[in-house]
Amino acid sequence: MTEFAPVDPTSTDAWSQLAGIAEGFSPDLREWFATDPGRAGRYTFQAGDLTVDLSKNLLTDEILAQLLQLAQDVDVPGRFSAMISGEHINVTEDRAVLHTALRRPKDGVGLVPPAGFVVDGADIDADVHATLDKVYAFADKVRSGAWTGISGKAIKTVVNIGIGGSDLGPVMVYEALKPYVQAGLECRFVSNIDPTDVYEKTANLDPETTLFIVASKTFGTLETLTNARLAREWLWNQLLASGAIADTDAARSDAVAKHFVAVSTALDKVAAFGIDPENAFGFWDWVGGRFSIDAAIGTSVVVAIGPDNWRAFLSGFHTVDEHMRTAPLEQNVPVLMGLLNVWYSNFLKAQSHAVLPYAQYLHRFPAYLQQLTMESNGKSVRWDGTPVTTDTGEIFWGEPGTNGQHAFYQLIHQGTRLVPADFIAVANPAHPLKDETGDGAAVEPGQDVHGLFMANFFAQTKALAFGKTAAEVRAEGTDESVVPARSFSGNRPTTSILAPALTPSVVGQLIALYEHIVFTEGTIWGIDSFDQWGVELGKQLALQVAPAVDGDADALAAQDSSTKALISKYLELRN
């Protein structure tokens, strides 16, 4: 068990100072920029390839100083150091939290803790690299066509079956790195227990060239195990129907051996499902599900993009891990962003946080961040079991720009709620296209479309920061009756994150950035960001309710009146 007791952040002097500043706080980004030419430069930071401009936030030097003091008071650096060295900072599960160990380079040069460190009797680096080597060898076999299905054909489609961290990470990274996917290979992702998911994802697939990866840390998740059985049934039925296998148990198990592999910490359960443990890739209980994309859970993506790109992806994480470990707090990007989120949530009472990638390939990034941030920090008790002393967690949401501009940005620009937003973009798109004809008016012939896209990014952050005063609206000759509706208050905070291109390394850097933002906030709030007890009750009740839905009268009678009526209506509506 960790020796750290949580500091109550609200008992610190920094907290009182921040509360004092927040009282009657009247931000004025126009004024701040006009009177301080150094503002953008002073508040722009670098973490690896990520340039992060915090200057359009509701931040002053005074606020920043108090936030940094708060980080010191709760000892963010000390707890990070405890985490990366394997202390059991996941207190409620009495586990180490070592996702940072998943991306420590194999050469071991300059590592802290030094290469070969042992936690709970295990040589962490040796275990990590042995598994990575096994995943790489497997990926190479699939990619080269050496791994064949039951009828000797190479694999064309990899279907990852998992949910939560065993789905959101792989699908997000696969989508983000589409340009790196080997030609002729495709990945699909089945997660939902709604049977339409497995139906649609297997539709029009050739079973002889399809490989399923059952990804589940526990190998006990209802959705994943049910979908894995449905997929196995689909495989057998298709192969039997085409005559590719005989109707024997031996043929069936041979088909599973050639078309199913697994990723799990529970290799005994993998074997019980019928998957050869030789075709299973392990990981460890010190990797949380939502922190597991860089463990073997990413196997589908390693197959798709190849080991070299995966190594670059891992090195991106490590770059930001090192930044988090070594950068002074006042230049430490994840710490600064985490502190800003605390400022907005606890002092300015923001209820949610938007993440707006101006990179279509990052279209699943907001969904990925929802699990990372909300499963980690949506807690009401601290790691010693006492109630939290302030609001925790942030509601993360978002969609890629510019799509969001035509949907929900209205509320961010002119609504009554404060919604801090992270804008994320890259300078070099994978597909630089030009609008050769233009429209003869706003868009010149030959316009670089990515430039037009980025003009929207810059324009939105400007509009949010500086708004448009009533006087400016009037000066355009606007009828007085609509001046209020057409004015923009400004002072709507944004963080701008720019990277050179959406490379494997940059995607790794972005994920690590948000992992450590989550860590920073959780440390300030004194919560265990690495457990997820809040998902258990619903899982238990689903199993209790299932017999009632299946027509068991006693089980139905045992339900509360609302649930009973709903299930009865459902049964009545069923054909």
Per CB under 6 A, residues contacting ligand F6P are: 163-166, 216-218, 221, 224, 289-290, 375, 532, 535
The string of DSSP codes covering 315-332 is HHHHHHHHHHHHS-GGG-
Structure tokens at 182: 């080997």
Nearest to 306 by CA among 160, 135, 509: 135
Which residues lie across from 159 on neighbouring strands?
188, 212
Residue 447 CA to residue 430 CA, distance in Å, equals 17
Q: Report, in Å, the least distance between residue 391 CB and ligand F6P.
A: 22
- Residue 206 CA: distances (Å) to CA of 150, 211, 237: 12, 10, 12
For the bound state, the minimum distance from the C-beta of residue 472 to ligand F6P, rounded and expressed in Å, comes to 49
d(CA 153, CA 444): 50
Q: Among this protein's residues, is 375 annotated catalytic?
A: yes
Give CA–CA dist 324/353, Å, rounded: 22
CA angle 509, 86, 107 (to 5 degrees): 55
Close Cβ partners of 76 (under 8 Å, ≥ 6 residues apart): 329, 335, 338, 519, 520, 523, 524
Tokens of 181: 């996917």
Q: How far separated are the first and last CA of the chain, in Å rounded?
A: 54
Q: Which of the following is catalytic: 208, 375, 515, 521?
A: 375
* Minimum CB distance to ligand F6P, residue 381 (Å): 18
Please give the distance of CA 62 from its chain centroid, rounded to a whole number.
32
Residue 525 three-state SS = helix
Residue carrying the six token digits 């009282």: 23
Q: What is the CA radius of gyration of the chain?
A: 26
The 3-class SS string of 70-83 reads HHHHCCHHHHHHHH
The alpha helices in 154-194, defined as continuous H runs, are: 168-176
Instruction: Catalogue the long-range contacts made by 348-351 (C-beta closer than 8 Å, 24 or more residues apart).
Output: 348/22, 348/25, 348/58, 348/418, 349/418, 350/394, 350/417, 350/418, 350/419, 350/420, 351/395, 351/417, 351/418
Instruction: Tell me the closest approach of the beta carbon of residue 312 to ligand F6P, in angstroms.
Output: 25
Report the alpha-carbon distance of residue 37 to residue 31 in Å, rounded.
11
Q: Which residue's entry shows tokens 């891992």?
A: 314
| 472 noted as active-site residue | no
Other beta carbons less than 10 A from residue 16's beta carbon = 12
Classified as helix, coil or strand, 119 is: strand
Instruction: Give the shortest CB-159-to-ligand F6P separation in angstroms.
Output: 16
Q: Side chain identity at 508, as an amino acid letter?
A: G
Decide: helix, strand or coil at residue 382.
coil
Contacts of 243 (CB under 8 A, 6+ apart): none
The 3-state DSSP class for residue 372 equals helix
Paired strand residues for 495: 422
- Minimum distance, C-beta of residue 262 to ligand F6P, in the bound complex (Å): 11
Nearest residue to ligand F6P on Cβ basis? 289
Q: Which is nearer to ligand F6P, 328 or 538 (CB)?
A: 538
CB of 300 to ligand F6P, least distance (A): 14
Q: Which is nearer to ligand F6P, 87 or 223 (CB)?
A: 223
| C-alpha 177 chain-centroid distance | 15
Q: One of 406, 431, 476, 572 is an active-site residue; which one? A: 406
Q: What is the DSSP letter of 498?
A: E
Shortest Å distance, C-beta 528 to ligand F6P: 13
Beta-ladder partners of 13: none
Phi, psi of 136 (to 5 degrees): -65, -40
In the complex, minimum distance from the CB of residue 290 to ligand F6P, in angstroms, rounded to a whole number = 6
Look up 539 and say whether it is catalytic.
yes
Which residues form the catalytic set?
Answer: 375, 406, 539
